[in-house]
Amino acid sequence: MNGSEIFGAWVAVFLTLGIFSYLYKDNPFYKIAEHVFVGVSAGYWMAMAFWTQVQPNLFGRLWPTPDGEISGFLMKSWYGIYNFFGFILPSVFPDGGIDKGHGHDPHFMYILPFALGIMMLLSVSSKLSWLARLGIAYTVGMAAGLRAYAFLNSNVLGQIKGSAVSFVDMPFFSLTGVSIFNNLIILVGTITGLLYFYFSKEHTGHFGKVTRVGIYFLMISFGASFGFAVMGRISLLIGRFTNLITYGGPTYHYASIWVLLIMIVLLAVWTFKGDKKVAS
Amino acid sequence: MEKFLDFIVRAGSLDRRYIFLVIALVVILPLFFPLGLPIRPTTSSQDVYNAVDKLEAGDKALISFEYGPSTKPEIHPMAVALLRHLFQKDVKVYITCLWPDGQFMAMEALEQVAVKQYKKTYGEDYVLLGYRPGAEAVIKGLVSNIRKVFTVDANGDFLDDIPMMVGVNQVADFDYLFSASAGYPGTVEWVQYAADPTGVTMSTGTTSIQVNEVMPYVQSGQIVGILGGMPGAAEYESLIGQAGIGTSGMDAQSVAHLVIVGFIIFGNISFFVERRRSKKY
Amino acid sequence: MFMKRQLPIAIAATIGFLTLFGWFVDEPVIKSFVDDDATQWFDILASFAMFLGALNLLKMQAIKIIKQQKGWQYAALAIVGFTFSFTAGFILLGSYNVEISQYDDPAKVATVLASEINLDEKSTENILIAMPEGDTYTIDTPYFTKKGADNVVEQINAAGGTANMRATEWGAHISTRGSLFNWMFRFIFTPLSATMFALLAFFVASASYRAFKIRNFEATLLLISGIIIMLGRVPIGGNISAWFILYIVVLALSAGVNTWFKNRTYTFAAVVGGLLAVTIAGFIMGWPVDQPAIFYLPVLQDWIYNNPNVAGARAIMIGIGLGIFATSIRYILGIEKSYIGE
């Protein structure tokens, strides 16, 4: 176990217990952990987005490694710009071009998303923030086109197909397999559940009775979702505690135990001082 | 009797920090003192097991890792158990990742199962294609032409130099698809853009919270079986006969659930007693 | 005005139509744009949105510090955190590998290498000896600093080996296990994000106790379904006898009889009769844990999970699917303009 791993374990334990300390009450340890999380996440996602998308897929297409000598005024000027960027940021723009499997010819079309991206960043300035709308419009249009078909096909048509259940060649009731009763439950539940969301007609009379049945099915589904949500959260908690138990071992110099004790003592002092201030 | 009812009403508005303490204890204690409760697989986990069991030696399985460290306790155990099952059957495993963190998870799982346990050969028995950004674009690219999305694998080796990539050009060339997913992009995108259009048999493992979102696909047959969260992982481990992290967490999970149900029941008893009293007065 | 209002709507409409019809059109140029380039542009713009988020965060925290608002010290901490992750991602490579290609005496090189790879000298020597001719051995964990890696290289060279330092490529450093960025990911980002999620477990438990009250029939259905799923899906549910559940059902039905008829005799009869019937049936059947199957929690949970639960979830899914389709069409047709602030 090297020093950086052990130090890392102590940092991880401090941050974990700092977040958990919120369960006692909002306190400086929690605030420290929370603000560190905010800052580190922003930097982390920025680095991930840049090195996995922008550098390989945008710059890698605008300035791919050329095949042999560059010729022509346009190409020489284009790679001249690249060399200038490379002088300022050699890590992002290595010598000769960026080789990420996008061929050897620049994809000039990618100047558009680059420009749209820069415009998006300008929304920091209140005067030029309207430029960001162009990039956002592209994103919105793209997402709308992709999702419209995909959701209609899989979530609507696929599900309607799945609701077209069979009532032949099966027992009337079965707890574990297919049966007429089970298929009837699914069919009735799906239709009445959908009807509940039809608000163009008032839910009264016979229609009201049908939608009542629908809400019962929806409540059963929400109850199941609640059960699964509890299950998921408890599983994550088990994961964190397992981690803390590992870091509480002798390999990591009992990090969890020491940090917990120190935090309890400091929180007790902080609470006591706070109570004294309130009392006076 | 009155004193007892008084106690119930007062306990109904207990400071929530006592509840937090109880939850912490019921989760930690079983980790130190396991109960060894037997695990009973559900039909959805059995369906996944059966789908994998139908595969034969030499068949090709595409596994996609889309989870990160925050959901690792729920999904990593099922990914490890699935890899164990696949390698047991000498199925060829191809791994892709739609989440950047997924690549770390895949490397860890392969190190544990493929390298240390089953001593499989990289490039012949398994290949880590790696992470590519793009979500649906990546899936659509894999469906039409794998080499459009991946020119090299995660180690930087060209796909054409990898023996097990010969003849594998698109998703339809695979015999089985599994998505170990914690959110977007994940199971839903694989169903919409890959499984539905190509008809390749697909199963999935998701976090418990996502299960209900994906269940309609399972019931309609678009997905064959689902492993739901840590219990799903534990069930799969019991089906393949190799206990892992999923199994070891189940005792804590069981006791915690029982305690929470107890809280719900007690909270409602207190509510009813209080309501009866306020009606009386 | 055109640039600020009509142009964004025109862009959204054009790209929306192109992407939607790309699903149905077989023309290679359009298909290639829609399948490959259009989604790449989307991801590139999403990345720039991420940069924008980070810049806004810095702006807000900086304003807090400059104006010395309440809690400005914590804002400074947020900026320190950002600076650290930015440095690990863009300024310090933090990933320098040491590769050994040759050795004169494996035992001598092993004395240096052993402490670097946390193994005993004999095992380290065996690793070196097993190294095929012409191959290189790379120390698993890279070094954060160039100096650190160079020190080890010097020591190995002095021990009669041939080692050199190879810096990880920029870009690959974020996914290299053991790099500075990876250290930050494993010991700062991961514990924080995982713990934030795990914290909710406590609040769910607290809510279960204090807030989930049975005020009407719908709430009763929700809670009963939740309880059955919670107990049925974990091993402990398999150890709860079906007869225990049957007794609870008898008591619940008796409570229903009491509410409906408000007659003590009927209620008493229902309780005693029900309990007696269950007890006799139990004795006859020998109290099997999993029979009658419909009251055995794992089986009951499975039935609820696969039937009424799917019905409800499907209704919601179809509703959401229709809603997304309708909203997408509204964006494509330019009816919905909320993204430009209208």
| Residue B118 in domain | yes
Predicted pLDDT at C279 = 93
A49 in reach of chain C (CB within 8 A): yes
Which is more confident, C139 or A214?
A214
Predicted pLDDT at A231 = 92
Residue ranges of chain C assigned to CATH 3.30.1390.10: 94-175
Predicted pLDDT at B128 = 94
A238 in reach of chain B (CB within 8 A): yes
Predicted pLDDT at C293 = 84
Q: How many residues make up chain B in this entry?
A: 281
Residues C115-129 pLDDT 10s: 888 888 888 888 888
Torsion angles phi and psi, residue B221, rounded to 5: 90, 0
- How far apart CA C149 and CA B248 sit, in angstroms, is 40
Listed range (A75-89, C35-49, C220-234, C311-325) with the worst mean pLDDT: C35-49
The three-class DSSP label of residue A30 is helix
| Residue B20 in domain | no
Residues 200-259 of B with CB under 8 A from A: 207-209, 211-212, 216-217, 219-222, 228-231, 245, 249, 252-253, 256-257
- How far apart CA C9 and CA A140 sit, in angstroms, is 10
| Residue B256 in domain | no
Banded pLDDT at C81 (limits 50, 70, 90): very high
A139 in reach of chain B (CB within 8 A): no
**Maximum average pLDDT range among A70-74, A124-128, C129-133, C273-277:** C273-277
Residues A248-257 pLDDT 10s: 999 999 999 9
Contacts of A241 in chain B (CB under 8 A): 27-28, 31, 252
Stretch B132-138: mean pLDDT: 80
Owner of token pair 């809603």: C323
Which is more confident, B94 or C18?
B94
The separation between the first and the last C-alpha atoms of chain A, rounded to the nearest angstrom, is 51
Which is more confident, C171 or B119?
B119
- How far apart CA B219 and CA A111 sit, in angstroms, is 46
Residue C23 confidence (pLDDT) above 90: no
Q: Do B20 and A23 meet the contact criterion of CB atoms below 8 Å apart?
A: yes
Residue A14 confidence (pLDDT) above 80: yes
Q: Do A67 and A97 meet the contact criterion of CB atoms below 8 Å apart?
A: no
Predicted pLDDT at B281 = 64
Which is more confident, C26 or C78?
C78
Residue A77 confidence (pLDDT) above 70: yes
Predicted pLDDT at A22 = 95
**How many C-alpha atoms does A189 have within 13 Å on its Cβ side?**
27
A262 in reach of chain C (CB within 8 A): no
Residues B10-22 pLDDT 10s: 777 788 899 999 9
Residue A1 confidence (pLDDT) above 70: no
Predicted pLDDT at A41 = 93
CATH number of the domain bearing residue B145: 3.40.50
Beta bridge partners of A47: none
Predicted pLDDT at C96 = 92
Residues 202-231 of C with CB under 8 A from A: 202, 204-205, 208, 217-219, 221-230
Best mutation target among B220, B226, B235, B255 (most A Cβ atoms within 10 Å) is B220
Stretch A154-182: mean pLDDT: 84
Determine the distance in angstroms separating the CA of A127 from the nearest CA of chain B, rounded to an integer. 32
For A226, the token pair is 């609640």
C325 in reach of chain A (CB within 8 A): yes
Yes or no, beta carbons of C206 and B266 under 8 Å apart: no
The number of distinct structural domains making up chain B is: 1
Residues 186-225 of A with CB under 8 A from B: 186, 221, 224-225
Strands C96-103 and C161-167 turn out to be antiparallel
Q: Domain containing B70: what range?
A: 43-243
ipTM of the complex: 0.86
Stretch A100-127: mean pLDDT: 86
For B38, the token pair is 């037997």
| Residue B142 in domain | yes
From residue B154, alpha-carbon distances to A53, B68, B145, B157, C77 in Å are 16, 17, 18, 8, 36
Predicted pLDDT at C135 = 81
Q: Do C214 and C205 meet the contact criterion of CB atoms below 8 Å apart?
A: no
Which is more confident, B212 or B174?
B174
Yes or no, beta carbons of B261 and C317 under 8 Å apart: no
Residue C200 confidence (pLDDT) above 80: yes
Banded pLDDT at B224 (limits 50, 70, 90): very high
Predicted pLDDT at C98 = 92
Stretch C172-199: mean pLDDT: 89
Residues B229-279 pLDDT 10s: 999 999 999 999 998 888 989 999 999 999 999 999 888 888 888 888 887
Banded pLDDT at B120 (limits 50, 70, 90): very high
Stretch A64-83: mean pLDDT: 88
Listed range (B88-97, C64-73, C165-174) with the worst mean pLDDT: C165-174
> In CATH, what number does C94-175 get?
3.30.1390.10
Residues A38-58 pLDDT 10s: 999 999 999 988 988 888 889
Residue A245 confidence (pLDDT) above 90: yes
| Residue B269 in domain | no
Percent of chain A at pLDDT exceeding 70: 99
Alpha helix ranges (H) inside chain A = 3-20, 28-49, 60-62, 73-88, 111-121, 132-150, 158-163, 180-196, 205-247, 255-279
Chain Cα centroid distance, residue B52: 15
Predicted pLDDT at A280 = 67
Yes or no, beta carbons of B196 and A101 under 8 Å apart: no
Stretch A145-174: mean pLDDT: 84
Yes or no, beta carbons of B71 and C204 under 8 Å apart: no
